[in-house]
Every structure is written in C-alpha cells, then in structure tokens.
Structure 1
Amino acid sequence: MSHIVSVAQLIHLQRAAEHGTGPAVRLLDVRWRLDRPEGRLEYLQAHLPGAVYVDLEHELARRGEPAEGRHPLPEADDLQRAARGWGLDDGDIVVAYDDNRSVPAARLWWLLRRAGVDVRVLDGGIRAWTAEGLPIERGDVLPAPGGITLKGGAGGVLALDQVEEFRDSGVLLDVRTPEQYSGARTATDPVGGHIPGAVNLPAMVAVSSDGRLQQPDVLRRIFATAGVDAGTEVAVYCGSGVAAMHTALALELSGIRALVYPGSWSQWSNTRGQPVAVGILPDGRLTQV
C-alpha cells in the first residue's frame, strides 16, 4: 500500500472507482493548526469535492489529564465510531489532506494505518489540488454511515515509561523547533527543554518549499544527519504527538519504520520527576520537571 498520493494519482484512483475497476475512494479533510485548531470554517468555504471534515481535536484525540499530554490517542471504539461517521467501509481507499504541509493529515494516516486501513496522504494537500485548476466545493458533506471495522492497532507506540530505556538502545528524535528543543521557547508547557539524549531534527526539514514531502532519497540523507538509517531503531516525539506522526510518515517513505511517543513533550513536561535537558546538545544541562 502506498503512503502518499499525488493529485494525478488521486484522480486515477477516483476514475477507477467510478468505472468499477477499483475500490471506493473516501476523501477526508483534516484542516487543523496550533493557532486555529478548529478548521471547519475553512472546510466549509472550500474543500475537495465529496470530502468529509475530520475534527482532529475531538475525533483524532480525546480529552485527558495534563499528565497524558495535550492530544492523547483516541480510544479504539471512539475512533471506529468516528470512522463510520465519515462514511468509511471496509476495503475503501482513504485519502487525507489538509492545508498545513500534511501535518494533521499524517495524524489520521498514522491512526488508521495501524488499524489496518489503506489510507494515504494527498501530497501538497488542497493547495496542490487547486494549483491544478481542479474544482472545489463549498458547504458540508454529510455521508451515510459506513460499516468499517478497525483492527486493534496496538503497535508502533512508545509509552512514557519506555522512553528512557529506548533512548539507551535507539535514536530518539525530537522534531520540534530548535527554540523549543533548547528550552528557549516554552509557550504552552510548564518547563522548556527536551528529553535527555534526544536528537533535534525539526519536522519541517522533510517538507519542500511547495508543501510537498521531499523525495525518498532526500529524506534518507536528511535522517542520516541525525544518525538514522534503515538499520536504526528510531522513535519520534514532538510537542503533543501531531508533528511526530508527520515525521513517522516521512521516515516510512524513506524505508524506515519508527515508533511514536504520542504523549510527547506535553506529557513529559507535566510528569513530576522526569529529567529534562536544556540547551542545544542532546544531554544538555540536566534538571527535572
């Protein structure tokens, strides 16, 4: 199964579905960003024809305590209920997109792929679609409920109590900005810094200037600068587990399977007693939460 699709590949899949030579294609619009977590307004103004809006804050995460992080993973039953509400059926090809360099779409990709769904990310998102002069729609799309059954997606996760042990045997990537990593910027968390031993590689280095992901050979060179190649055990974290899944997608495209620490810094920094490194070096100046 592919992980991303171009606009041309999406159109090919849609035409195959229309002619009965391929499975149904379901479009999911995952508009979200840190400064505007509710993307429904943008969706209502313009979206790909037939696309259903997905609410990242409430459908791809759940409410939790601060010690769980800002975006705890949704419960399996809740995710399946949401997926059926998006009109998904078993055997569908799901294509997710957004207007934020595929970061929120990658969260949906990560959640559904580990549940056994053939889900892909539209490379370049809605901007790539409109750049081709293709039609868009306004208003809401309310699909008939689907009957998809999600598999128990329990793999691919690094839990809070596994992080330090993993760090001793693999590479732990912190994909936040250098300012967040060093502790110079602490906008939303109680303390700044990073998990001791984590290597900083900002998520956006995997994205080209047009919002598309870099080619696999370029991605491999980028990850090699952080000591990551096909033989490396690697885990990824960010601020709250969204951008980390985008880096997991980029790693997958380069042939590297990664674990994700979903709680990320928002959980680590809210858990009393956890060690914290401050500064630009992986081990930095050590302190505690």
Structure 2
Amino acid sequence: MTLFLKRISSVVLLLSLIMLSPAWAEGRDFLVDADWLTEQKESNKDLVILEVRYHPHRYHTVGHIEGAVQVQRFTDLGDNLAKPIMRFPTKEKFEQTLRSWGVNNDSTLVMYDDSSTALVSRLYGMLELFGYDMSKVKILDGGTIGWTGFNELTKEPTPAPKEGNVTLKEANPQLMVEWMDIYADVVANRKDNIVLVDARPADMYTGATIRHAVQGGHIPGAINIVSLDGVEGQSQTWRSAEELEAMYKDIPKDKTVYLYCHDGFRMSLGWLQLKSLGYKDIRFMNGGWPAWDGAMTLPIVQGDKPYDDDFSL
C-alpha cells in the first residue's frame, strides 16, 4: 500500500472513530456554547434570545445577555388559571406568548437559564409539544455561568420586540399523559411496556421531605432518577453521554417512558436527556406531582421502593 493510500486509510479510520464516539453520538446538537451564541448575535438577524431565571427579578438586578427577552417561568410556561397552574397552556395562549417575544416561524431561538438547563428544558419541550421547528431551537450549555466566563451581562432593558407571527400546531398527544393514564397504565394494569420516572430529588421521592406539596412520597410504580444529577453542579453543563447512559441504564430504549416532577422543569430535563440518548417514546405528565398529590385520594407510596406492601402483590 502506498504512503498516500495509508494516509487516506488512516483519515477514514479516524473519521469513523469520531463518528462512533460518544461525543458525536450524544444526540445533543441542540446544545451550544458562548462562542456560538456570540457569532450568532453578530450574524443572524432572525435570532431571538430567551432568558428563564429561577428568580426572575435577577434579569434586572443581576443582568442578562444583551438583547435577551425575559421569560417568567411560571406565568409564561404554564396555564395560569388551571389547577395545578403548571399544566400546559393552550396552543393559542402559548402562541401569543411566543409572539410577544418576537418569535416568527423562521426565528432561531437560543435559550438559557441559571438552573442547570432545567428551566429551559421546559420551554424546549413545550416548543416541541406544539410543533415548532426544533432544528431552530438551541440551549446555551452552562447558562449564565457559561456566558459570564468570558462575557458580561447587562442591566439595560431589552427593547420590546416587534410582535412575531409564529403559528403553532395543536399539542402532540404522543408527548403528554394525564394522571388518569398513569393510574390506568402503571397503577392498575401494570403495563410492562411503560416505565414511570419521578425526576425529583430522592428525599421528595421517599417522602422524607415535603416541599411544594401537600403529601410526601411518589406515585406507585415510579422509579426515581434525579434529572439534575445529569448536569455538573459547578459549571451547570451537561454530563457526558456515558454518564447519562449510566443514569438511565435500567430503562430499556424500547419502553414508553412517563415522567413527572413538581412543576414541570425537572421532568422536562429528564425528557431532554432521554431524547438525547435515543429514547423514542417519552411523555410528560401534564400537571406533574401536584395533579396527583392534590387529588388527596389517589394512592401514594413512601420509601425508596416503587411499590409498598399494598401494591407488592
């Protein structure tokens, strides 16, 4: 073999290894870094930057990326008049919210938060739920920490954008389940093709801590996988594909996965993590734990096992 052919062969082998490597196969092309966003700010006239802070007032007091539009995580990402309030809004309500942010059908959306991408995962999931072109939606990995490592925030208010004209679709029923579905599929009928995941912290799952709830514990049959464990705490960047695979190793990829949490953010992060790993059928519980907990009469399990004695037979 000539030296030229050997070099070509080596290059082909290297490219093959890269394409098969976890970095290539992670399925996370929606994650971008600060350099990417900086370039887009300069070159993309259709760019819309959205900030979702845990404490929304920090958009003003701490600052935001220049040009970012504030997203208020409860009023903008839930049905304000529903019980619980974090049920998904109607298509019409969410469409009007997006338009108020200046979003058009051809807008490139880049969103960031200060909460390990849990908050923007909710927004990302809602965009997919209502049929937005997800090839145009990106998440700033590391959020405010990733940006402020090399850039500054501004306290100057972003001028109100020109109202957009985005048009959404009706909510995709294949991405959402109600409490009745979970009661029927998991609690009553024990369907073996369904896995129910509680994405909250372990102490809330077991019932040791009652926070943002009336009761402690979990829905019978739920396993606990804490979605925030999939993000590096200090940098708030996503962990590697291998680490996420290890987190979700007990869930076969041919199963249907139902996820819930307290207010729709942790479950959305879990949904996005599973999606990045190649899971195909992943669904949000509309209303989350408050929909189950607030009913007061639905069964609840406490402890670190999916089922207690009442449900073990």
For Structure 1 versus Structure 2, the TM-score category normalised by the shorter chain is 0.7 to 0.9
- Post-superposition, which runs of at least 4 consecutive aligned residues in structure 1 deviate over 6 A? none
> Are 2:112 and 1:97 equivalent residues in the alignment?
yes
Deviation at residue 178 of structure 1 after TM alignment: 1.1
Give distance in 2, aligned partners of 1:4 and 1:262: 25
Give distance in 2, aligned partners of 1:119 and 1:153: 18
Superposition pairs for residues 259-270 of structure 1, below 5 Å? 259-270=283-294
Contact 1:199 1:282 in 2 (8 A): yes
Q: TM-score normalized by structure 2?
A: 0.81
Stretches of structure 1 that go unaligned for 5 or more consecutive residues are 19-23
Task: Return 88-97 or 266-275, whichever deviates more.
Answer: 266-275
User: Which one of the candidate residues 26, 29, 38 is aligned to 1:11?
Assistant: 38
Contact 1:98 1:126 in 2 (8 A): yes
Superposition pairs for residues 269-280 of structure 1, below 5 Å? 269-280=293-304
Q: Deviations over 1:32-65 (max 9, x none)?
A: 2xxx4xx1x2111311111000112111112245
Deviation at residue 165 of structure 1 after TM alignment: 3.4
Stretches of structure 2 that go unaligned for 5 or more consecutive residues are 1-27
Counterpart position of 2:267: 244
Counterpart position of 1:162: 181
Q: Deviations over 1:244-284 (max 9, x none)?
A: 11111111111123111121111101114311111111102
Task: Return 238-247 or 79-88, whichever deviates more.
Answer: 238-247
> Are 2:98 and 1:57 equivalent residues in the alignment?
no
Equivalent AA in structure 2 for residue 26 of structure 1: V
Contact 1:3 1:249 in 2 (8 A): no
User: Which one of the candidate residues 218, 221, 224 is aligned to 1:197?
Assistant: 221
Counterpart position of 1:188: 212
Contact 2:228 2:269 in 1 (8 A): no
Counterpart position of 1:126: 144
Contact 1:193 1:277 in 2 (8 A): yes
Contact 1:59 1:78 in 2 (8 A): no
Give distance in 2, aligned partners of 1:4 and 1:172: 26
Deviation at residue 240 of structure 1 after TM alignment: 2.2
Contact 1:196 1:286 in 2 (8 A): no
Contact 1:3 1:253 in 2 (8 A): no
Alignment identity in percent? 24
Contact 1:213 1:250 in 2 (8 A): no
Counterpart position of 2:48: 26
Q: Deviations over 1:67-114 (max 9, x none)?
A: x43412112111111100001111111111111111111111111122
Distance 1:282 1:84, change over 3 A: same
CA RMSD of aligned residues (A): 1.9
Task: Return 259-268 or 213-222, whichever deviates more.
Answer: 213-222
> How many equivalent residue pairs?
271
> Are 2:237 and 1:212 equivalent residues in the alignment?
yes
Counterpart position of 1:235: 258
Deviation at residue 285 of structure 1 after TM alignment: 4.9
Contact 1:203 1:247 in 2 (8 A): yes
Contact 1:220 1:229 in 2 (8 A): no
Between Structure 1 and Structure 2, which shows a larger proportion of helix residues?
Answer: 2
Contact 1:31 1:43 in 2 (8 A): yes
